[in-house]
């Protein structure tokens, strides 16, 4: 079973920041949180990952709570091309990604 | 950079036919994975490999076989295709080391009639 919980869908206005939440209350101390997105039926695209500290790259920022039980992916200036399904994933002890159903993010003009 | 390349991109098979899906990566990654994705669902792991010559079962391995004869290639075989194997198949690879992300190909869309 997926180790994460995400809302099934979210809307965001174009140009605004999109904040996607994820709960992972059973995460272990050495497990990373990964974010991917999938546009239409293309291959999943890696966005960002983190362990304890907040992370930022050219695509997004990842905010992880101090207890590590939840995280938020932030797309700072959403565009129409950011419309996709976003997956929050915790890697299991066998280094396997266990995928849930993700959040369908719709960016509206 | 080519990254992860999957062939073919589309295929239609009849029940009982066999075929092999090819995944090739040019990033010198040790780990490789095969997933399937059914409509409206997340990915499910079929088989994976932690290095040349080694393979292991994932969450849904039944009906599939794999081989990793060369480090850069990971083959997924269907010996006797069934309609339940109609799906989109994704291959991924990653470097060794804690926290390294997986990188995916564009998928193979397979229909079994």
pLDDT digits (tens, 9 = 90+) for B36-48: 999 888 889 999 9
Partner residue opposite A96 with nearest CB, options B42, B48, B107: B48
At residue A101, the pLDDT reads 83
What pLDDT does residue A76 have?
96
Cβ-based neighbours of B33, under 8 Å, separated by 6 or more: A96, B45, B47, B48, B49, B58, B74, B91, B92, B93, B102
**Would you say residue A1 has pLDDT above 60?**
no
Asked whether the predicted pLDDT for residue A20 surpasses 90, the reply is: yes
Inter-chain contact A43–B41, Cβ cutoff 8 Å?
Answer: no
**B1 pLDDT more than 60:** no
One-character DSSP codes across A2-69? -S-B--SEEEEETTSPEEEEEE-TT--TT--EEEEEE-TTSPPEEEEEESSS-EE-SS-EEEE-TTSS
Is A100 in CB contact (< 8 Å) with chain B? Answer: yes
The mean pLDDT of B68-87, rounded to a whole number, is: 96
Distance from CA of B17 to the nearest CA of A (A): 25
Contact A46 B105 (CB under 8 A): no
pLDDT at B64 over 60: yes
Residue A2 has pLDDT above 90, yes or no: no
Q: What is the pLDDT of residue A3?
A: 83
pLDDT at A83 over 90: yes
> Band of the pLDDT at A45, cuts 50, 70, 90?
very high
Residue B98's pLDDT band (boundaries 50, 70, 90)? confident
Do A43 and B106 make contact, defined as CB atoms within 8 angstroms? yes
**Phi, psi (deg, nearest 5) at residue A82:** -85, -5
Which residue matches tokens 């983190």? A50
Given CB atoms, is A62 within the 8 Å cutoff of chain B?
A: no
Q: Nearest chain A Cα to B88, which residue?
A: A41
Q: What is the mean pLDDT of chain B?
A: 94
Chain A closest-CA separation from residue B40 CA (Å): 7
Question: HSE (CB half, 13 Å, CA atoms) of B44?
Answer: 15
Q: Flag whether pLDDT at B65 surpasses 60.
A: yes
Determine the distance from the C-alpha atom of residue B82 to the mean position of all C-alpha atoms in its chain, rounded to a whole number: 17
Nearest to A30 by CA among B96, B95, B30, B99: B99
């Amino acid at each position: 079973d997926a180790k994460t919980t995400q809302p099934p869908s979210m809307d965001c206005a174009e140009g605004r920041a999109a904040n996607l939440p994820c709960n992972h209350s059973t995460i272990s101390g050495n497990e990373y949180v990964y974010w991917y997105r999938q546009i239409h039926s293309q291959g999943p695209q890696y966005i960002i990952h983190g362990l304890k500290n907040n992370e930022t790259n050219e695509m997004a920022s990842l905010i992880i709570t101090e207890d590590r039980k939840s995280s938020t992916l932030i797309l700072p200036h959403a565009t129409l091309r950011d419309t996709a399904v976003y997956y929050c994933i915790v890697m299991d002890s066998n280094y396997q990604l266990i995928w849930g159903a993700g959040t369908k993010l719709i960016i509206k003009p | 950079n080519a990254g992860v390349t999957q062939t073919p991109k589309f295929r239609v098979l009849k029940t009982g036919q066999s075929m092999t899906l090819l995944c090739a990566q040019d990033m010198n990654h040790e780990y490789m994975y095969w997933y399937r994705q059914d409509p409206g669902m997340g990915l499910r792991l079929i088989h994976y490999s932690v290095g040349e010559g080694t393979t292991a079962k994932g969450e849904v391995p039944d009906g599939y076989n794999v081989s990793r004869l060369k480090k850069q290639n990971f083959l997924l075989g269907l010996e006797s295709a069934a309609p339940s194997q109609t799906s989109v198949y994704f291959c991924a690879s990653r470097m060794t080391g804690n926290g390294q992300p997986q990188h995916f190909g564009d998928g193979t869309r397979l229909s079994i009639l």
